[in-house]
Amino acid sequence: MIKRFIDWADQRTGCRRIVHEALYENVPGGARWRYVWGSTLTFALAVQFITGIFLWMAYSPSSQTAWESVYYIQDEMRGGWLLRGLHHYMAQAMTILLVLHLMQVVIDGAYKAPREVNFWFGLILLQLVLGLSLTGYLLPWDQKGFWATKVATNLVAIVPLIGPQLQKVIIGGPEYGHHTLTRFFALHAGVLPASITALLVGHIYLFRRHGITAKLPKRRPDAMFWPDQVLKDAVACLAVMAAVLLLIVKPYLFGHHDQLGTDLGAPADASESYSAARPEWYFLFLFQFLKFFPGGTEIWGAIIIPSLVMLVIFVMPLLGRWRLGHRFNIGLLFCLLAGAGLLTYLAKAEDRHNENYVAAVKEAEHDAERVRVLAKSPAGIPSSGAVTMLRNDPLTQGPKLFAQKCASCHRYDGHDGTGRIPKNPQSASDLKDFATREWLTGLLDPEKIATTNYFGATTHREGKMAKFLKKDVASYTPEQKEKLKAAVIALSAEAQLKSQLAADQHGSALIEQGRAAIQNDLRCTDCHQFGKKDEDATAPDLIGYGSRRWLISFINNSAHEEFYGKNNDRMPAFGANQILTEQQINLIADWLRGSWYEPSTQMTKGAED
Amino acid sequence: MNDPCNSSPPVGRRNFFKSLLATVIGGVLGIVPILAGLEVFLDPLRRKAGAGSAVHIAALEGLPDDGVPRKFAVLANRVDAWNKFTQIPVGAVYLRRTGDQVQALNAVCPHAGCNVDFLQQRNAYLCPCHNSTFTVAGRIGDPSSPAARGLDSLDVEIRGNEVWVKFQNFEAGRREKIPVA
């Protein structure tokens, strides 16, 4: 039955002959492991085509949907992490296989006449595959791909004569945007794969036309391609697939169960500088190479020298006609690889010792994790794109703004909010846990108020409040101390902090006692106003102390008479003098008050189900 | 080798096992990316349409008591892959008031899913795609209409002055009214 069908098909298509020709190619000297590289590359390419087409069905190339659709594939669609992981790591494997294939061809002299044209086909294929890597890196539209690709396309502008125009055409306009993605995607999924397929057909045709270049001396008698060499090829492909799968599940083996597959950075944001931008590891050597060319001479590092190197590789078959030329080719190839290896090592080593880079990578990882938490929030991703979630997130923006605008005087748990220690010495309070019971207990402690974490480095160190604490509070009776404790609880309750919500609800009786103590027993209202308006108040308002409204007004202008008035010590009027926008002040205030979106434990459980 | 179709390949037990192994490995390798892709491709089968919930459509007072249908947009929350939209148009209904009775019809033609128009001069609904006609009450008008059932009526609830409709879509092309799940 099957035979009859095959006969029928064969009469009409000649398929037997094709299959026979494909499988019964003569392999001079028998099957060898060194011949597997071409097959592994073809296999890797096939995997890329299959996974790529499936990814295509869920990918949406525009600046508001590219990251979002990739996130959706990765985190929400079943099996998406595996599909993306396969595509990502197989691309990396391809780069390695390309180098191995090239080395085998040059070392075995398989480029020599009459196989020059096929060698050139191979070199063009190599460049096209690298083109796939370059265009694919941008498509997730995350910070990493965005900034790294920007460097690459900015280098296009230094091409003589047509550079700027060429750059505009490539990125689809003067700036990165929708058309950068549509163009890169069309190149990545259309133009380049089609060109590669066409060239690969030619490459394999020419290879079959001239046959395998046998590695001499022949160890065994000639054999057929099937099944010996096919089996070796299959085992090599299996090893490639195993390596790729291992890379995909690597995070799982190290306990990061939620990060299977490949990573996805925070969504691209042109307004958010990204000092961790680096190209993919296999382009790092070029990146490092560029550092050696001072301003104005980049064209040598980016275009002229790489082009010359490519040119030399192109003429290798001609040089290889002479024995010395062949040796030169092999030597050159090893030198180039060693050079690229050294440059890659230098780039990595330099980054490892660069504090700024290390911190930026950490921050980038933090942002990437955070944006996924926000994407899973009940509000979901707004149609303006995931990037707006991060821009409006106090937990993300608060520390960055604090580091830029506040940390030259203040501290947050001893650092600048992002974990770095600022160069300027601390000259104002540490605002970690600001307005909490703990923080206020410290502020009202005669021993602590003069430390740098409170008023120590400010003029308030000698102010009325400090004097009052040292003179009066220091000699409080146990009964008065209890009242002070209640006052701290009452004052802290004014802030309505998320972290103390439950404690404030339970302690309402104590809060009432504390309020009475502030208003009557403890003399707070001699200078502050609390509970009711007081025109004569000279110290910061305690009505709603630490609340969102209070903190925003305070940052807006701490020298306002509601707060320090003329006693204000150096703190700029951030809002009134337009140092920060209203939104930025809101973000800092919300961050200091600890109010940002957190998934409730129940929610997380639901998401996992 | 002049006729490759008739030349026989090398045979032998060793070769047989090698061939088998090569085929098995090749098959496994091919199936990995295809399975991963299919799993993602078939992900939509896991997604369910939201169960029809009551939606506020119009004020009862604003609905003339003349038995003439009027078209209203239905606003509801919708999840579209990664986006969650609040109160966006998700469909349309015709409301027809007679006395204190309000009838609601989904504006989608049950034949192939086009939106029907109400033609006042004919006092009937007409589907612009394949010319199905429906009476003002939503039943099939012209018996030669390609639609298999009348327009889909929806449950109406009057809450004070507000008209609420349990909005749902139904599978097109069938004689029975089966909610899209």
Q: Is residue A495 part of a domain?
A: yes
Whether residue A458 is found in the same domain as residue A566: yes
A284 in Cβ contact with A278 (< 8 Å): yes
Facing residue for B46 by CB, picked from A58, A65, A78 = A78
Task: Show which residues on chain B lie within 8 Å of chain A, measured between beta carbons.
Answer: 4-5, 7, 9-10, 15, 18-19, 21-22, 25-26, 28-30, 32-34, 36-41, 43, 46, 79, 81-85
Nearest to A38 by CA among A120, A94, A86, A115: A94
Q: Is residue A326 part of a domain?
A: yes
Whether residue A288 is found in the same domain as residue A253: no
- Chain position carrying tokens 């090829």: A233
CB contact under 8 A, B79 and A380: yes
State pTM to two decimals.
Answer: 0.90
Distance CA A153, CA A183 (A): 13
Q: Is residue A55 part of a domain?
A: yes
Domain count, chain A: 3
Q: Is residue A256 part of a domain?
A: yes
CA A24 to chain centre: 49
Distance CA B103, CA B155 (A): 8
- Predicted confidence at residue B10, as pLDDT, reads 54
Whether residue A421 is found in the same domain as residue A531: yes
Facing residue for B40 by CB, picked from A80, A245, A386 = A80
Quickly name the fold that domain B54-166 has: Rieske Iron-sulfur Protein (2.102.10)
- Predicted confidence at residue B1, as pLDDT, reads 36
Q: Is residue A606 part of a domain?
A: no
- Predicted confidence at residue B53, as pLDDT, reads 84
Please state, for a pLDDT cut of 90, what percent of chain A lies above it: 72
Mean pLDDT of chain B, nearest integer: 90
In this structure, what token pair is assigned to residue A393? 């997130």
Q: Is residue A482 part of a domain?
A: yes
- Predicted confidence at residue A363, as pLDDT, reads 87
Distance CA A510, CA A488 (A): 10
- Predicted confidence at residue A531, as pLDDT, reads 75
Residue A384, classified by CB atoms within 10 Å of its CB into exposed (0-12), middle (13-18) or buried (19+), is exposed
Counting one residue from chain A and one from chain B, the pairs whose CB atoms sit within 8 A come to 115
Q: Is residue A604 part of a domain?
A: no
- Alpha carbon distances (Å) from A329 to A74, A286, A326, B176: 44, 21, 5, 76
- Predicted confidence at residue A318, as pLDDT, reads 93
CB contact under 8 A, B25 and A69: no
| Residue A419 belongs to domain spanning | 394-592
- Within 8 A of B40 by CB-CB distance, chain A residues are 54-55, 57-58, 73, 77-80, 83
For A159-202, the DSSP string reads: STTTHHHHHHHHHTSSS-SHHHHHHHHHIIIIIHHHHHHHHHHH
Distance CA A342, CA A358 (A): 21
Facing residue for B29 by CB, picked from A237, A381, A382 = A237
- Within 8 A of B84 by CB-CB distance, chain A residues are 378-381
Note every long-range contact of A527-536, with CB atoms under 8 Å and residues 24 or more positions apart, other chains counting: A527/A464, A527/A465
Q: Higher-confidence residue: A559 or B52?
A: A559
Facing residue for B40 by CB, picked from A65, A83, A375 = A83
Residues 6+ apart with CB under 8 A from B25: A231, A234, A235, A237, A238
Whether residue A147 is found in the same domain as residue A259: yes
| Sign of torsion over alpha carbons B37, B38, B39, B40 | positive
Interface test with B, best of A230, A246, A248, A260 (most B CBs within 10 A): A230
- Chain position carrying tokens 């490892």: A352
CB contact under 8 A, A381 and B36: no
Facing residue for A54 by CB, picked from B15, B28, B37 = B37
In this structure, what token pair is assigned to residue A387? 């990037």
Average of pLDDT values for B117-124? 94
pLDDT of residue A605 exceeding 60 = no
SS3 assignment, position A432: coil
Mean pLDDT of chain A, nearest integer: 92
pLDDT tens per residue, range B37-59: 999 999 999 988 776 789 999 99
A72 in Cβ contact with A58 (< 8 Å): yes
pLDDT tens per residue, range A252-294: 888 776 677 888 999 999 988 888 889 999 999 999 999 999 9
- Predicted confidence at residue A418, as pLDDT, reads 87
Q: Which of A236, A265, A294 is the last residue of a domain?
A: A265
Give the start-to-end residue ranges of the domains of chain B: 1-47, 54-166
Q: Worst-scoring range by mean pLDDT, A72-76, A157-161, A546-550?
A: A157-161
